[in-house]
Amino acid sequence: MQKQQQLDQWVRAVAESGEKLNGAERRSFLKNGLALLGGAGLAGAASGTAAQAMPPGIPSWTRSLGSAVNTNPYGMPSPHESNVQRRTVEWLTADKIASVSFTPLADLKGIITPSGVVFERYHAGLPDVDPNQHRLMIHGMVDRPLIFSMEDLMRFPSVSMIRFLECPANGGMEWRAAQMDRLQFSHGMLSCCEWTGVLLSTLLQECGVQKGAKWILAEGSDGSHMSRSIPMEKAMDDALIVYAQNGEALRPEQGYPVRLINPGWEGNTCVKWLRRLEVGDQPWYHREETSKYTDLLPSGKAREFTFVQEANSVLTNPCPEKPLTKPGKIWVEGLAWSGRGRIKHVDVSFDGGVSWREARFTSVVEPRALTRFGVEWDWNGNPALLQSRAVDETGYVQPTYGQLRDARGSSSIYHKNAIHTWKLNGDGSVVNAQLA
Amino acid sequence: MQKQQQLDQWVRAVAESGEKLNGAERRSFLKNGLALLGGAGLAGAASGTAAQAMPPGIPSWTRSLGSAVNTNPYGMPSPHESNVQRRTVEWLTADKIASVSFTPLADLKGIITPSGVVFERYHAGLPDVDPNQHRLMIHGMVDRPLIFSMEDLMRFPSVSMIRFLECPANGGMEWRAAQMDRLQFSHGMLSCCEWTGVLLSTLLQECGVQKGAKWILAEGSDGSHMSRSIPMEKAMDDALIVYAQNGEALRPEQGYPVRLINPGWEGNTCVKWLRRLEVGDQPWYHREETSKYTDLLPSGKAREFTFVQEANSVLTNPCPEKPLTKPGKIWVEGLAWSGRGRIKHVDVSFDGGVSWREARFTSVVEPRALTRFGVEWDWNGNPALLQSRAVDETGYVQPTYGQLRDARGSSSIYHKNAIHTWKLNGDGSVVNAQLA
């Protein structure tokens, strides 16, 4: 085939450029390499997934020196990736000071969420906290009320955990069947970072918790004084007083210089810019655990203190932002997570839940962490209904919308973890299609 | 005690600010809270590690609204952390185009290295590669030479691994007893990220490796055409064609849009801006595996193809950049890693290796990944010699400088993994003190 000959010629030219560019052939190679630009053909494809790329010429960056080392003492993504950013939904909240921005899940890989694009949720805006002035106080039903500077906190044993963090309102718009048009907006109040800090139990031991103490109030130092009541069991289990995120100091948006992380629990309980922990014998019933962050049931009553984010999953490829460009083999992948522990099993359906295929895990599988899964699929070009269904190590199975609404009605805002459906159209485009 | 009374008063004032700020008492509280500023006392300390912080007043950010959500669609560290950055050593290389910058290890926590501060190493500067034009070619002893666009690569099954990446010259200045004055410079050509991509074995299978093929040449598309010969065993084991790092697209400094990662092997073999993989039956003996990246032995001969980065460790707190401020309990911690597999055991010494204490792991323990360890220590204020010693799952024990020089002399540049000593002075300062 003529195409194969052209390809072979190009392959040889590129190969020679690597082996000869330091020698006398440099000049003649460049001439030759560039001359090939116009006539280059297509690579032979061994299967549906195989390469079909048009070989370009020898690009400019191969023929020149780049920029010096440490031009950027703190590096940033390539300018070609400027589309990967947090975004807001204009109509969602009345004020940008008390609002949310969403993680661009469609463009992310693996399980770590880059700190720069972790979703934001503020109740009184993003404060600029001076770590030298910031203090964390523990008081109430303790033998020794104590105040910790950041330097004090660093003297205690440190622990690092990879854990997801999700706003309980993630996907909340879908309770009443609104269908957000992007993965970023349907599931983007979700993230997963390596969090480092001191176990809350370590600090409580230092203070001496008194008999009868059962709850802890965690309060932020931002203008909203965001506060939540946390049961002592969680405080003594894996609750972490966090000062670092993905290896470096906590980001301002995430509570710099110190926050609470309750692994697997509502993001709202993970109070940011943490300044105060009060130990008591009953919950405080503050604003953000009564008028908000409760689930209105069909009976008219509301569930409260529904801390755990139960098993959930979503496909990230394909998705509305990542349509398919052509039929053939593709890698269908997604994220699963459970506040109850490790993800044990994920199934994927291509026919709206009629039949299922087991996905495989392609990341570390940590408890209460995002878990990446995937499955190979040979798309025949027909429309399809794509779903994923997660099961965690406690045996909890992610419910359908029907099951979820049977149990909780449709007036909730929080804890939407139903099986999600992407409708793949024949042209490769993908839309949010809620199935019962 | 008067100090305790002042503290109690301040504790009450801060506590009340949280509970009453939304009510009528707001005005009177603020007055009261601010009035307390001058008279605040010290927290009572329960032990050597306990809090000693002077309580400040109610800070400005607690009494105001912060900035709106999504003010920064791609977030950055707090301005208070601007000191955490890559740095160069001016005298180390003749030209900043072919040079190195170092990871600020002293300020990092956990095991993930933030992408913005991962060390750099260029041989012809940092190229600005257009992912739409970039191609990866596989040719040579294969049935089907193929050229892959980035979109092609994304169609193959994806895998994510948390793995360290270290320049084999890390600490190379110490072979001849030079003692770098910071942890950043003594060990900072080191990082650990979650890498996502396609297993090289997957792509090789697509191309059909021919009988007798034993080596692969990996070549970069930057101006240096950096190239290394890789044995087929590694290519078929865990070598990864990587397009993402810590959840997002590979950073330009790390080879955007695609690089090779050979987990646990010399960073130099993990060719960046990867454009070509040639399959052959013998190594190529290119510049960067003959005149460089070989170890000159006392015999005058040089070791070559010494791929594995063997077990190593270093204490990150205390260290020259993190002196101790006072005696008492502190958390001594560090990083251990091995190119042979998982870290199994780390010991810490406070007397220059005479006696050892077992450290505990405080992060996930993945094979060929940085592993965070720590141990509590009650510093009595006397000078001390601090060391750490790592053992990996193969039983390999990190050597002393004496053992390393007995085996390899002192003319090497690469593969310095000796037990490192920090000398802690009575004033809390820390210096690099090489012990045999």
C-alpha distance across the termini of chain B, in Å = 52
Kindly tell me if the per-residue pLDDT of B25 is higher than 80.
no
Kindly tell me if the per-residue pLDDT of A75 is higher than 70.
yes
Q: What is the pLDDT of residue B29?
A: 32
Tell me: do A390 and A366 sit in the same domain: yes
Q: Which of A79, A139, A376 sits opposite B15 (nearest CB)?
A: A139
Would you place residue A49 in the very low, low, confident or very high pLDDT band (cuts 50, 70, 90)? very low
B62, B69, B229: best mutation site toward chain A, by most A Cβ within 10 Å?
B69
Q: Which of B112, B147, B207 sits opposite A247 (nearest CB)?
A: B112
Kindly tell me if the per-residue pLDDT of B318 is higher than 70.
yes
Q: What is the pLDDT of residue B43?
A: 39
Q: What is the pLDDT of residue A24?
A: 30
A191 interface with B at CB cutoff 8 Å: no
A159 interface with B at CB cutoff 8 Å: yes
- Least trusted range by pLDDT, from A33-47, A237-251, A252-266: A33-47
Please count the structural domains in chain A: 3
B251 interface with A at CB cutoff 8 Å: yes
- Residue A66 forms part of a structural domain: no
Q: What is the pLDDT of residue B266?
A: 98
Are B155 and A128 an interchain contact pair (Cβ–Cβ within 8 Å)?
no
Percent of chain A with pLDDT over 90: 83
Would you place residue B37 in the very low, low, confident or very high pLDDT band (cuts 50, 70, 90)? very low
Tell me: do A289 and A424 sit in the same domain: no
Q: Which of B111, B329, B366 sits opposite A155 (nearest CB)?
A: B329
Tokens of B24: 């009528």
Element (H, E) at B4: helix B2-20
The CB density around residue B271, as the number of other CB atoms within 10 Å, is 28
- Domain final position from B262, B283, B303: B303
> Which residue did the predictor score with more confidence, A144 or A1?
A144
A35 contacts: CB under 8 Å, gap ≥ 6: none
Q: How far is A298 from chain B (nearest CA, A)?
A: 31
- Residue B75 forms part of a structural domain: no
Any idea what the CATH number is for the domain that residue B339 is in?
2.60.40.650
Tell me: do B201 and B283 sit in the same domain: yes
pLDDT tens, position by position, A78-109: 999 999 999 999 998 989 999 999 999 999 99
Kindly tell me if the per-residue pLDDT of B24 is higher than 60.
no
Q: What is the pLDDT of residue A14?
A: 58
Are A162 and B364 an interchain contact pair (Cβ–Cβ within 8 Å)?
yes
Mean pLDDT on A267-278: 98
Tell me: do A110 and A34 sit in the same domain: no
Tell me: do B110 and B253 sit in the same domain: yes
Q: What is the pLDDT of residue B436?
A: 77
Q: What is the pLDDT of residue A5?
A: 60
Kindly tell me if the per-residue pLDDT of A47 is higher than 80.
no
> Which residue did the predictor score with more confidence, A367 or A9?
A367
Mean pLDDT on B31-56: 38
Q: What is the pLDDT of residue A435?
A: 84
Q: Which residues of B touch A145 (CB under 8 A)?
A: 7-8, 11, 43-44
B50 interface with A at CB cutoff 8 Å: yes
- Residue A321 forms part of a structural domain: yes
Cis omega (within 30 of 0) on the bond before B318? yes
Residues A392, B180: contact at Cβ < 8 Å? no
Mean pLDDT of chain A: 90
Measured distance CA(A155)–CA(A144) in Å, rounded:
18
The CB density around residue B157, as the number of other CB atoms within 10 Å, is 18
ipTM of the complex: 0.91
Tell me: do B296 and B318 sit in the same domain: no
Residues A114, A105: contact at Cβ < 8 Å? no
- Residue B94 forms part of a structural domain: no
Kindly tell me if the per-residue pLDDT of B28 is higher than 70.
no
B81, B89, B109: best mutation site toward chain A, by most A Cβ within 10 Å?
B109
B118 interface with A at CB cutoff 8 Å: yes
- Residue A80 forms part of a structural domain: no
- Residue A167 domain boundaries: 100-303
Q: How far is B160 from chain A (nearest CA, A)?
A: 5
Tell me: do B200 and B299 sit in the same domain: yes
Tell me: do B130 and B279 sit in the same domain: yes
A64, A69, A203, A279: best mutation site toward chain B, by most B Cβ within 10 Å?
A69
B394 interface with A at CB cutoff 8 Å: no
Tell me: do B174 and B151 sit in the same domain: yes
Mean pLDDT on B352-362: 98
B247 interface with A at CB cutoff 8 Å: yes
pLDDT tens, position by position, B111-152: 999 999 999 999 999 999 999 999 999 999 999 999 999 999
Kindly tell me if the per-residue pLDDT of B195 is higher than 60.
yes
Residues B239, B228: contact at Cβ < 8 Å? no
